[in-house]
Amino acid sequence: MSTFQGKTKKARDYHYYSVAVIGGLLEARFNGGSGETLLISEVRVNDGAFHTVTISKRNRKISLNMDDHEVAVSRLAKGTNSIEGPANGGLYLGGLSEGMTLRGMAGTKERLIGVIRDFVFNGAIVKMNEPTNFKGIGIGRGQ
């Protein structure tokens, strides 16, 4: 899942966050305009089981939890109070739209091979049955 905003003329406007599965581990990147914070889990998620992943932020502390256990924790760069979603762009689940570039905002450009069963963003359930675009995506049950 990634939120992307193209780099503007002001470094403070360079906000993004992304979560990817790389080599079976979760990698989360956050930037609120003052520098990137990277979290990498030490627990594998490519084991064929469903996992609950939670990312929480309190002040500058950001933590990555899997199945109710903290697997990585760090602090956002000094000067970062928030990470704002883009006015233009969007929230992408499972990969990026064709033709988009990463510009270092995510650890991989490979699409997710797996299942996103439920997705909650800012306390609200995202309706997975109402996608804006789902080219190459299977809507339904995982195998």
Instruction: Give me the pLDDT at residue 39, please.
Output: 94
On whether the CB atoms of residues 115 and 49 are closer than 8 A, the answer is no
Kindly report the backbone phi and psi dihedral angles of residue 113, in degrees, each rounded to the nearest multiple of 5, phi listed first. Answer: -105, 100
Q: Is residue 143 part of a domain?
A: no
Assign 113 to helix, strand or coil. coil
pLDDT digits (tens, 9 = 90+) for 17-27: 888 888 999 99
**Model's pTM, two decimal places?**
0.75
Model confidence at 132, in pLDDT bands (50, 70, 90)? low
Residue numbers of the domain that contains 67: 2-125
Q: Is residue 137 part of a domain?
A: no
CATH of the domain at 39: 2.60.120.200
Instruction: Give me the pLDDT at residue 40, please.
Output: 94
Report how many domains make up the chain. Answer: 1
Q: Is residue 65 part of a domain?
A: yes
Assign 11 to helix, strand or coil. helix
Model confidence at 67, in pLDDT bands (50, 70, 90)? very high
